[in-house]
Structure 1
């Protein structure tokens, strides 16, 4: 869901490393270098990378720049091809039936395990090439002066993909701003032991 929606689920992060002025100047270039690569005309199963938050089709930031005052805005686009299990089962059976018919012509009554695996890979690749990838976009807002970053997603797999790609792109480490880390940031390192020993309070019996 776009970050400018009326309601949105957000994951907050802080950047643990120092962000130099040189790196700030390089942000647009790095976004382009690690931008999304289209897989519509391939058989690739998945592709991900950065795109313009104002236009998911813009991977060169031609529509608008990523700089918005003290913020940098961009999106993580993830395209995935999914083959329905029933579709794969059907076409695999068709291919296996054809293979068995050809084998019988040669006097054989079975298909080897390796050949079955090869046929399944071929069928999967063929179906994948015929299916369109499903796009998903997750907006990102980076408040550089405050070392704060907001991701419009709460899914664990998306969060892991995002933090890994962010690290690869900018060579920076992100830390999720959970209540524990927020409390530790406010109270200081000396409060870690006390925070770790806290027990939850249940208000409903």
Structure 2
């Protein structure tokens, strides 16, 4: 589903590099046009990758600002069309061509190796020309005020393709993953940033090292959320800048699905607990056996009865199945299609940004506790709660 859908899986990047001194929006339009998507429906090319309109993936002309620019947002969609021939079909067609060649060349008992290669290429090209390409699209919205870019795929291969295409298109710029440590830096004040640096377990600034060595950010965050869900009111206050007012109250809790991972005699062991939970006894039992929560369904609710739901991936802080309140646009007889699309876009951005603001506020609340002097006592409380595990027959 695209980024304008009420439910979408997203990851976040920060745009790095020096922005052009000329008009950013005009420059972006020119770069997108130079790297636009070219259809391959009429040929036999295997792959085509390029940019199309977010509003309409069939359109790839970037000749007016409305194609990619709305207020302080730049928006574009990566389209990838790919042809492929199933191996079984290719093999059967080749066997027929080999037999035909042997009939036409009776002096041979088998097809020579070099001729096999020629036939294979010819058959493959013929089959590709008879196969329609399969399209796939992935939306990107770049907030030029914050430098945050939202991308609508969690596939590692698609993310890698997007990073390459972005760097190729926007010379001098690149996108870097907005991983848990980077996100933590962004939500903390200067004093807590110092504490975060002291808690950093990575030995370099390489983002892979920062992710791998600081997985405690995700596992401790979700363990704390689990404890809060079962033992506290789960009520928090907005503390990050954005659309929602400072100190506005909201609720955050885990439910529905929890995934835990740990090591055992036979290697990594994965446990999935699904369905509404009363006491999370199975999860608590797994935690006592040194499993760690790696992903969970997180709910965020405001006093305005707005509800966000996501599957939080703890290692990278990807938001899978990120469901926001429905977009509600009031239309009348004077509203044309272009105005409606624009209204839907802005309303969707408001909802996505509210959800991210709530998540960042929740994460910042955890970090201030985790990095502060009160964390040892909090850990002790969590351990006492885990030890009273009715699933295991009482206190352990």
What TM-score does the superposition give when structure 1 sets the normalisation length? 0.90
Question: 8 Å contact 1:9–1:153 — kept in the other structure?
Answer: yes
Q: Separation in 2 of the partners of 1:152 and 1:86?
A: 33
Pair 1:188–1:131, CA change in 2 (3 A): farther
Shift of residue 61, structure 1, vs aligned partner:
4.0
Counterpart of 1:157 in structure 2 is 157
Counterpart of 1:66 in structure 2 is 68
Question: 8 Å contact 1:138–1:151 — kept in the other structure?
Answer: yes
Counterpart of 2:42 in structure 1 is 41
SS at match of 2:200: helix
Question: 8 Å contact 1:180–1:195 — kept in the other structure?
Answer: no
Question: 8 Å contact 2:83–2:132 — kept in the other structure?
Answer: yes
Question: 8 Å contact 1:79–1:135 — kept in the other structure?
Answer: yes
Question: 8 Å contact 2:10–2:151 — kept in the other structure?
Answer: yes
* 1:17-55 CA distance string (max 9 Å, x none): 122341613111111111001111111000010000011
- 4+ aligned runs moved over 3 Å, structure 1: 61-64, 197-203
Counterpart of 2:56 in structure 1 is 55
Counterpart of 2:301 in structure 1 is none
Counterpart of 2:31 in structure 1 is 30
Pair 1:192–1:134, CA change in 2 (3 A): farther
| Higher Cα Rg, which structure | 2
Counterpart of 1:175 in structure 2 is 176
Q: Separation in 1 of the partners of 2:18 and 2:195?
A: 19
Question: 8 Å contact 2:138–2:151 — kept in the other structure?
Answer: yes
SS at match of 1:22: coil
Counterpart of 2:90 in structure 1 is 88
SS at match of 1:40: coil
Pairwise CA RMSD: 2.2
Counterpart of 1:101 in structure 2 is 103
Question: 8 Å contact 2:33–2:63 — kept in the other structure?
Answer: no
| Structure 1 range deviating more: 95-104 or 56-65 | 56-65
Shift of residue 68, structure 1, vs aligned partner:
1.1
Judging by fraction of residues, say which structure has more strand: 2
Segments of 5+ residues of structure 2 without an aligned counterpart are: 203-212, 224-286, 290-396
Q: How many residues align?
A: 203
| More contact order relative to length (CA 8 Å, sep ≥ 6) | 1
Q: Separation in 2 of the partners of 1:66 and 1:45?
A: 27
SS at match of 1:10: strand
SS at match of 1:9: strand
Pair 1:59–1:118, CA change in 2 (3 A): same
User: How does 1:97-136 map onto structure 2 within 5 Å?
Assistant: 97-104=99-106, 107-136=107-136
Counterpart of 1:194 in structure 2 is 200
Q: Separation in 1 of the partners of 2:139 and 2:214?
A: 34
